[in-house]
Amino acid sequence: MWILGVNAPPTGWHDTAACLIDGNGEIIAFSEEERCNRRRHSLYRKPLSAARFCLRQAGIDAADIDVVALGWDSEQLYPRRFDDDAEFLAYAVGLDFGDRTPEVVRVPHHQAHAASAFYASPFPKAGVLVVDGHGENESSTIWTYEDGAEPRQERTWQRTASLGYAYDAASTWLGFSFLNAGKTMGLAAYGRARGLAAPSLVDLDGDDFRLAVAPLAETPGRATADTVKEQYETVVARWRERYSAIVGADGPSLPEEQLAADPRAVLVAWTAQRVIEKSVTHLASLARKAAGVDALCVSGGVALNCSTNGTLPGPLYVPPVPHDAGVALGAAWTVRPPGPRTGALSPYLGTDVHGPDFVEGRPPLDTSDLVRSDLDTDALTELLLHGRVGAVAQGRAEVGPRALCRRSIIAVPDSAEVTTRVNTIKNREQWRPFAGVTRPGYGARLWERQEHLSRYMLGAARATDLGRTVAPGVVHVDGTTRPQVLHGDEAPAVGAVLDRMEAQGAPPVLLNTSFNDRGEPIVNTAADAFAAFRSMELDFLVLGDELYRKKHRTEAGR
């Protein structure tokens, strides 16, 4: 049995994705469409290339698919838009399924989010909290999941009481897209560091919460896409008006590159961040109480808020793809849950860097402008210890928005200046932070312990005195970092360098950020890696088991 999970139009209109599982619930392949079509967030595009990748990885054809699971109840939001499932699949996915149309299972959006978190976790039972912009009729939900039992929805909050909407409003007030909420989170840290008093825009009341911007009256009956869009625009506008009233301005007074120096911009970001932190902390407590266990899983777009995740007590698990791309996996697992699990999900489920570009019969990629050598860990370590900044593209790509050392830019973070250089290389604002990666034993010395969040770089942790001393390049203005702990040979090149650094007496920690230029998705294939390497001021590229440098740099002795 083959089940293809998708986040796809018309309901899933951003971060489209495809995931293939077999009859045992085992993941064969998972990819976000943006990695394939090279269009950030893949707005309004079906996950056709991602689905084709999944089929290639399994060695099957579209006609072999038994079920297509969609992470939305599309029939509710778009009633009577399609005559039958065959027409729907042609629009949503685009594969040619032949004469046999697979069964289509429409999984409610928040249930798909919840399944993607619980079944990826190591927990046999957990409370599951889903918080995002909105699902079909809700913005926050609480669930109880247990192996071998049907999931139980415990609580739900309506769309217009959305924490995601409150954060979207702050992001757009700041001049960002709602898809750039990570920038808002990074800017909010300046408010925390400066001890700003953020006005309280949420009241916690027993087993509920109330936002300062009152929810709209819900439209009777099941919402349609038009209703959801209208409510979103109205609620976000009200939140923006509230932020404007707090700071006495309708937008920042400085350009994006200088927002950290704009006190109004920092206060808006910090105010929105406090709304999320206070509310999610309260909801997390309610989820644990409802499930009767301490184990907690969190998913939905708001679960990408690393600063909030880092404030929650454990045991806590956030999957590597908590945002909308992850419902492709959750929808598939709702149809066929996985068997017994021995640990958390491996995130390395995407395209092999040597896959599509190294097919027999295709001409090799042109590297005549580069100097190639076999990868040598000692040589790579020396480059890094001498201040070089480079990129790594090895093996199957990690899924989700965080690069986890298989599609990463790396550097030694022994000074604050490295932050400036890497932000310049990536064409990012200089006020934005970076994350660090190390091995488990040393990580315990650098920052507060995170049992699961540091596996996928999804939680902020306060740096220790040692962390601030040896790795200032990955410590943000508020004294936190967003760490990754690398186990075993999950990312061979980076792991080997960390081990060699430790053997040489150097602090085994590296700056780790995604391998992509501004406005680009994370690189996927070898062709993507070479293109990004050439366009950015990087010193070296590790591609598989090879090391590449630029001729003009080696000739200049750099």
Over range 49-64, report the average pLDDT.
97
Report the 10 Å Cβ neighbour count for 301: 25
Give me the half-sphere count of Cα atoms (radius 13 Å) on the Cβ side of residue 163.
31
User: In this structure, are residues 174 and 268 in contact, taking their beta carbons and an 8 Å threshold?
Assistant: yes
DSSP run (H or E) holding 501: helix 492-503
Q: What pLDDT does 542 receive? A: 98
Whether 521 shows a pLDDT value over 70: the answer reads yes
Same domain, yes or no: 500 and 405: yes
Whether 554 shows a pLDDT value over 70: the answer reads no
In a domain, 77, yes or no: yes
User: In this structure, are residues 372 and 379 in contact, taking their beta carbons and an 8 Å threshold?
Assistant: no
Give me the half-sphere count of Cα atoms (radius 13 Å) on the Cβ side of residue 182.
16
Task: Output the CA angle 257-553-535, nearest 5 degrees.
Answer: 45
Same domain, yes or no: 311 and 360: no
pLDDT band at 355 (very low <50, low <70, confident <90, very high): confident
In a domain, 142, yes or no: no
Same domain, yes or no: 300 and 253: yes
User: In this structure, are residues 106 and 70 in contact, taking their beta carbons and an 8 Å threshold?
Assistant: yes
Q: What pLDDT does 214 receive? A: 76
Whether 155 shows a pLDDT value over 70: the answer reads yes
In a domain, 80, yes or no: yes
In a domain, 72, yes or no: yes
Amino acid at position 270, single letter: W
Return the percentage of the chain with pLDDT > 70, whole number.
97
Over range 439-467, report the average pLDDT.
95
Q: What pLDDT does 380 receive? A: 98
Instruction: Tell me the per-residue pLDDT of 385-401, one tens digit each, with 9 for 90 and over.
Output: 999 999 999 999 999 99
Please, what is the angle between helix 225-247 and helix 263-291, to 10°?
A: 130
Report the 10 Å Cβ neighbour count for 462: 14
The rounded distance, in Å, linking the Cα atoms of 182 and 193 is 17
Q: What pLDDT does 364 receive? A: 77
Over range 58-86, report the average pLDDT.
95
Whether 360 shows a pLDDT value over 60: the answer reads no
Return the percentage of the chain with pLDDT > 90, whole number.
91
Q: What pLDDT does 556 receive? A: 57
Same domain, yes or no: 200 and 314: yes
- Could you write out the three-class secondary structure of 334-391? HHCCCCCCCCCCCCCCCCECCCHHHCCCCCCCCCCCEEEEECCHHHHHHHHHCCCCEE
Same domain, yes or no: 197 and 263: yes
| Those residues with Cβ within 8 angstroms of residue 427's Cβ, 6 or more apart along the chain or in another chain | 517, 518
Same domain, yes or no: 212 and 301: yes
Whether 183 shows a pLDDT value over 90: the answer reads yes
Q: What pLDDT does 93 receive? A: 98
Q: Could you say which of 55, 77, 112 is where a domain stops?
A: 112
Q: Could you say which of 296, 318, 340 is where a domain stops?
A: 318
The rounded distance, in Å, linking the Cα atoms of 503 and 498 is 9
Backbone angles phi, psi at 487, to 5 degrees: -100, 140
Same domain, yes or no: 253 and 174: yes
Same domain, yes or no: 310 and 218: yes
Same domain, yes or no: 312 and 365: no
Q: What pLDDT does 341 receive? A: 87
Whether 359 shows a pLDDT value over 60: the answer reads no
In a domain, 119, yes or no: no
Whether 357 shows a pLDDT value over 80: the answer reads no
The rounded distance, in Å, linking the Cα atoms of 344 and 397 is 17
Over range 38-64, report the average pLDDT.
97
Total count of domains within the chain: 3
Same domain, yes or no: 183 and 310: yes
Whether 494 shows a pLDDT value over 70: the answer reads yes
- Domain holding 54: CATH number? 3.30.420.40
The rounded distance, in Å, linking the Cα atoms of 227 and 238 is 17
In a domain, 120, yes or no: no
Same domain, yes or no: 249 and 398: no
Same domain, yes or no: 289 and 186: yes
- Domain holding 536: CATH number? 3.90.870.20
Calculate the alpha carbon distances from 14 to 53, 160, 180 in Å: 19, 20, 13
| Those residues with Cβ within 8 angstroms of residue 124's Cβ, 6 or more apart along the chain or in another chain | 146, 147
pLDDT band at 106 (very low <50, low <70, confident <90, very high): very high
Whether 557 shows a pLDDT value over 80: the answer reads no
Q: Could you say which of 289, 318, 347 is where a domain stops?
A: 318
First to last CA, the chain: 54
Please, what is the angle between helix 181-193 and helix 263-291, to 10°?
A: 100
Over range 350-357, report the average pLDDT.
85
Please state, rounded to an integer, the average pLDDT across all residues of the chain: 95
Calculate the alpha carbon distances from 481 to 165, 300, 308, 398, 436 in Å: 26, 22, 13, 21, 7
Domain hosting 537: range is 356-555
pLDDT band at 161 (very low <50, low <70, confident <90, very high): very high
